[in-house]
Amino acid sequence: MREIKTGEITRTVKELYLEASYVLNDDLLISLEEALSNEESVTGRDILGRLLENAKTARAESVPVCQDTGVAIVFLELGQDLHITGGDLQKAIDEGIRQGCREGFLRASIVADPLRRENTGDNTPPLVHTEIVPGDRLKITVAAKGAGSENMSTIRMMIPGTEPEEITEFVVEWVEGAGANSCPPVIVGVGLGGNFEEAPLRAKKSLLLPIGSRNPDPFYAEMEVAIIDRLNQTGIGPGGLGGRATCLDCHILTSPCHIASLPVAINLDCPVTRHKTAVL
């Protein structure tokens, strides 16, 4: 059985966390450039230009791309034939985030208790989602998720048989209601089906998909396009100050669900959607 040591996992998590914090992915930058070339509003063009300039500066100077360094979310795809040695996996991941936060001077954004609000000082603990997969590899994705867009997320338990148009309407109305609070232009993640914990996780995972990619099922691809088009006609625009670029993309991920259920979760992300992946 193949083995990897926890020390390698710690190093990788730290590197991914720092890279995600400093360097936006090319697909996001391309979508911002496209939004800029299609934007009719002068203010909207100005904001999109500043977002691109900000991304360039963050990369060149190795500084966080936003003051909100987000909550660290670690997605693992753990091969069932892989043996992790040298200690506790969760502690190894925590240590990677801790080192990344301290060495990269990332803003300490996590409190240990939701009501007592004492800052942990090093952005630990990260949220870790693990999937067991075939093989002997470990795929690690580290995302840093901003609170502004996260706070504008929701779930609704809809009635089975709800028409696709009603779901589209719900998503569009929700994002429109979020207005400037979600730091538009947004990326809209939709989780359909599953249950009360699965649908938001599907919505969250959909935010990792390449911008511009469509659901392989034409039925859902059509819904994604309808949501993007509707949102870009709302006039909310970049920063919520008016314009065309309200939504950079929308992804729908589905899960099987109970005959009596139809959960619909919406998870929003912002123009600094950050995630990096490595395979060990």
- Closest to ligand SF4 by CB, 96 vs 146, is 146
Q: Give the nearest distance from C-beta 58 to ligand SF4 in angstroms.
A: 11
Residue closer to ligand SF4 by CB (options 66, 247) is 66
Q: Which is nearer to ligand SF4, 107 or 139 (CB)?
A: 107
Instruction: State which residue, 147 or 279, has the beta carbon closest to ligand SF4.
Output: 147
Instruction: Using the minimum distance from each CB to ligand SF4, give the nearer residue, 57 or 80.
Output: 57
Task: Give the CA dihedral 33, 37, 41, 43, nearest 10 degrees.
Answer: 40
Whichever of 58 and 253 has its CB closer to ligand SF4, that residue is: 58
Min dist. Cβ of residue 85 to ligand SF4 (A)? 36
Place of tokens 């959909």: 206
**What is the closest distance, in whole angstroms, from the C-beta atom of residue 66 to ligand SF4 in the complex?**
3
Shortest distance in whole angstroms from residue 243 CB to ligand SF4: 16
Provide the minimum distance between the beta carbon of 122 and ligand SF4 in the complex, in angstroms, as a whole number.
Answer: 18
Residues 6+ apart with CB under 8 A from 168: 223, 226, 227, 230
Q: Note the residues at the interface with ligand SF4 (CB under 6 A).
A: 66, 68, 70, 146-149, 183, 270-272
CB of residue 166 to ligand SF4, shortest distance in Å = 28
Cβ at position 208, least distance to ligand SF4 in Å? 16
Select 76 or 188, whichever has its Cβ closest to ligand SF4. 188
Q: Nearest to residue 28, comparing CAs of 201, 275, 253?
A: 275
